[in-house]
A and B are shown apart, each in its own frame.
Chain A
Amino acid sequence: MSLPYEKPAITRLVSGLMNKFGNRPAADRLVRTHIDGAPIERLVAEHGSPLFVFSERTITRSVRRLKQAFAQRWPDTVLGWSYKTNYLGAICALMHREGSWAEVVSGMEYEKARGLGVPGDHIVFNGPMKPLAELRRALAEGALVNADHHDELDDMLAVASELGREVAVGLRLNLDAGIHPQWSRFGFNLENGQALAAVERMARSGRLRLRALHCHIGTFILDPEAYGRQVAKMVEFAYQVQERFGFVIDTLDLGGGFPSRNRLKGTYLPADVAVPPVEDYAEAITAALQRSLRPGHRPRLILESGRHLVDEAGSLITSVVACKRLPDGTASYVIDAGVNLLYTATWYAFNVEIDRPLPGACEPSLLYGPLCMNIDVVHERVQLPPLPRGTRLVVGPVGAYSVTQWMQFIHYRPAVVLVGEQGQVEVIREGEDLSDLTRRERVPERLRQG
């Protein structure tokens, strides 16, 4: 057997030790031959490449760890599974099996949750656009609907009149919890009095009863204390509302934003160092609740975690289609999955693992997707040894947002499999074929050929 040709290149010699920030030495290579006991090669042989693989074990572990973190500190904590993170039926069903509610932001997601058997009163309905018909259904079925703007309050009032009864709703706040940039486009601002004015409007209407406050301070929040500040402000507002309008807040919805162990582009530190353990978040939140709540008032806590629960559970197996050396000498590879499947590549610097130990010095390499588009870059700089054609790469974590933000563009979307707790592999979404594209298309008769 002949060794693959390797273009001569000069690389800087580095020691094999981890640097002081916890980054891996450049010469190190990550090898992964199995996912939860299922061999990569077998997965590809049976289900093709590229292939999304989810690990049931990782999902249940992260859900249970988050629940456990709150179990002794604030037992009445509900996880509202953020559908937009990953609304594959099997993944949602798994979350619901673990006791999660559904957090939806569109009529489609609401319908999907109901279709999966989630009762209306176990659904949190957020988002800046809730068409009247969907709002009507959600309110009639007892979902917690968090109002986003004044026009939505109009719609809620209309629905309350139709239903002929008082309707209990939530209010989405935006506030300064010390996180920049501050998310101010959703909900009503707390500091400038907008939120209080909205509650006053509810109180005057006599048809809307405020029962929940919602606030999502941002995403991938690496400072647990930000949640403490958020909680303190929300509780203070809750009592302001109670004293002025008599509304008793029984639910505090803290939104999501807990980070996953993924690595944002431009972060120097690896996730193991940069991301605090979830127990720190639980401690910051519940300590703030203990400090600010009045005795005997124990509202329910809702956490809309998505990314934190599912990101690490998802991997994408992809194959090297071609190896190229760019004019500036940079090694680059064309792989069979691009930004059509990994929209998240825009902000994440993924881990890239190879499916077998390969010889040769690692060098910074570029991973290009299969699209005939210049933007199709999966990774701009990843340390890889020379990869022969056909090498399988395992890209991760890709559990969050990938299979909801992926697009059918140029290539078909691949299959998705779930590796169960016992190591069994089950297809949870079949790979697409042409019929998926053409099924809803209509070619006018006059344009048909032959």
Chain B
Amino acid sequence: MRRWLAVCAAFPASLSELVFLDGPWPGLALCALLALQPGLALGALAAGLGAWACARLVGAGAPEPCGALLLNALLVGMAIGHLVAPGWGCAGAALVAGALGYALAASLRHLLQAWLGLPVMSLPFVLAAAAWWLALARWPALAPATSAGFWPAGLLPAELLALPPAPLAGFLTALGSLLFLPWWPAGAVVALIILARSRILFVCALAGWLAGACARGLAGGSWPAAWAAGDGFNAMLAAMAVGAVFLVPSWRSLALGLVAAVACALIGDALAAWSAWGGAGLPAFTLPFVVAVLAALHLLGTVRSPLLAAHPGRTPEDTLAEHWAARARFPGTLRSLAPPFAGSWTVWQGNDGPWTHRGAWRDALDFIICDAAGSSHRGDGSRLEDYHAFGQPVLAPVAGQVVAAVDGLADNPPGQVDHAHPWGNLVVIHDARGFFVELSHLACGSLTVAPGQWVERGQQLGTCGSSGHSPQPHLHVQVQAVAAVGAAALPFSLASWWDGERFQANAQPRLGGSVEAVPYDPALEPWARLLLGERLVFSVLRRGRLVGEAHWQVGMADDGSLHLDSGRGRLLFGRHESTFYCYRVEGDDPWLRLLLLALPRLPLCRRDGLRWEDRLPVLAAGRSPATLAAAFLALAHPSWALLRTRHRCDGPLRVLGEISGPPGVAALRTLAECHPVHGIERIEVGAFTLRREVGHGAA
């Protein structure tokens, strides 16, 4: 039963993708519009069945046809419904067209994905529809459709239909044309569906259509023809795809979208003028849109443009907020090192520093120890022993094998350097993640490790000295791709440290900033105790009154990422270094969002007064008018897209937080408590409380 429901829900869901939306509801509304022209509905239905049958026939199995594959089949079916009069002939042709459309889409998708890394879009539809268009001219047995099938034509008085000015009517008609319904009231419904779901998408649609029409108007000289162009929807779709769907929405993406829209006008008119296409009576279908968008995506992919959205969200607003939140949340790299020392050290020379961190070595860090007055030494600093860093332990920042070790070079008196051996006494460690770490300027005779030896994180390697190119005792840290001493440096970040004000899970320290390693504390492990298959049951209370129950199960996705699945949505969580993260919530589950708000991240580390900050997409606070408005305004400035969270430990198993948002979004207080055995047991966010019900939640 559930399976058939999924098969049926795939129809409207894939239809939603026609206007870059997701979920069954926009698609259902579009289905209702199809009923205006029964032939279209029949064609779509038959084609959908054909696609499903084809998938069965070739043994494609799970997943059932959905998404772009099904959408292409449905579009071909609608084209058949548009061309052939309703009846058995139409249904049979659409059934075959759906099956072939599905097969073509599956092949093309693979080719485009594997060879070019591009989405298939509606290219299969264009090819299949063009083929049917040409072939049907020779198949008179399939009676051509007439306008008689469009039953609402007479429902609305002509004065009303003539009411909108030409540009508005043109825009709405173009929207309706997406469903083979070039009738502005139908387009108005589509416009409302888009507007209800995403303001950004709507703005892109409108701007794109205007750009296409204006290009035609200016170049062609005929404005009425420009407003009424039959393939105006191409410009609209291209602006939506480039401006808001595949790129992170911004003014730059919108500008690119408009360029793509203008390109659509060009391609559309070129096709119309081409004897093999327009000359053969073929309409442009969505070919201009497909060509323009694929070209744009290919270009952006080739130059590795940062504009491309890494994880397109449900709506452009989600993409936008998630993108900026991810940028703010994860400033670190995957080359994460533990601070190579204990206690608080200071960055003396940062990345791209003024002295030696230049060129190939720009990504290195130098550390010293400063006292309260900011000085690196006692007295006048004329002796090495005066320097706070001198003789302090240097610890392994990664686990790995020592591949090079130099000892025995004398420590320079302060103010002098050893040009002959710039790297001084050093250790190079190979990290199995695929890089090497070099620690330089260690004290003469202090090394406690030898090449070939395996070291664990935190193990002492030696002590800080002043050998090599070192005018005062300091520690040089760099990550490199090869084992050679002094090879070019790669970017890296430090994990689990205190910057003097807050905990940093994985970030690069700033020049002059302090770095103090915060040790991992196994006593906090219950927080992260979420076993695969485990079921968690929570009572949901609103101001103390029971309003529901939340059932979550720990699961693993195909890519290995872990999530809590409630059936309505998923919360992705995981660990990196010593921090537990709730990454994001997919789907539509308000209770999972509470967990994200209460624990966006949690250091499993020990330090008195531990506090930390995080950023969450503004839509994590729910889809209220205020958050939706903020997500839209994020087009202008990313700060609108973000919630700022400040959390702190109040005892080992209790976390308190404050969440503030952009203007208009209410601030929230959060609390999370953990049971030493069962794990997370209480979540409070604003007026809501999730209370763990232990006992009937066992897996």
Residues on A lying within 8 angstroms of B by beta carbon are 71-76, 99, 121, 248, 250, 286, 290, 295-296, 298, 300
Contact = CB atoms under 8 A, between A and B. Distances in A.
B392 A250 contact: no
Contact of A300 (B342, B456, B606): B606
Contacts of B399: 295
Nearest to A165: B676
Given A250-B523, A290-B460, A296-B458, A75 B517 contact: yes
A134 to B, nearest CB: 22
A439 B456 CA distance: 64
Nearest to B342: A75
B393 A286 contact: yes
A426 B388 CA distance: 35
A300 B522 CA distance: 12
Contact of B343 (A72, A121, A290): A72
A286 B516 CA distance: 17
B393 A73 contact: yes
B337 to A, nearest CB: 15
B458 A71 contact: no
Interface string B320-356: 0000000000000000000001111100000000000
Q: Which 4 A-B pairs have the closest CB atoms?
A: A295-B456, A72-B343, A71-B343, A72-B392
A300 B392 CA distance: 19
Contacts of A250: 521-523
Contacts of B521: 250
A286 B459 CA distance: 12
Contacts of A248: 522
| Contact-residue size bin, chain B (C-beta under 8 Å from the other chain) | 20 to 34
A72 B458 contact: no
Contacts of B345: 72
Contacts of A74: 342
A298 B520 contact: yes
A73 B341 CA distance: 8
Contact of B651 (A99, A121, A295): A121
B606 A76 contact: yes
B457 interface: yes
A79 to B, nearest CB: 12
Given A286-B393, A296-B458, A75 B343 contact: yes
B342 A295 contact: no
A168 to B, nearest CB: 9
A103 B426 CA distance: 42
**Of residues A74, A75, A286, A300, which shows the largest number of chain B Cβ atoms within 10 Å of its Cβ?**
A75
A121 B650 CA distance: 12
B520 to A, nearest CB: 7
B338 to A, nearest CB: 10
**Of residues B342, B456, B458, B516, which shows the largest number of chain A Cβ atoms within 10 Å of its Cβ?**
B342
A72 B342 contact: yes
A300 B516 CA distance: 16
Interface string B505-547: 0000000000011011111000000000000000000000000
A72 B393 contact: yes
B369 interface: yes
Nearest to B676: A166
A73 B388 CA distance: 12
Given A72-B393, A73-B343, A286-B393, 6 more contacts: A72-B343, A72-B392, A73-B342, A121-B651, A296-B457, A298-B458
A311 to B, nearest CB: 24
Contacts of B392: 72-73
A296 B342 contact: no
B217 to A, nearest CB: 70
Interface string B597-615: 0000000001010000000
Contacts of A290: 393, 459-460
B456 A296 contact: yes
Contacts of B393: 72-73, 286, 290
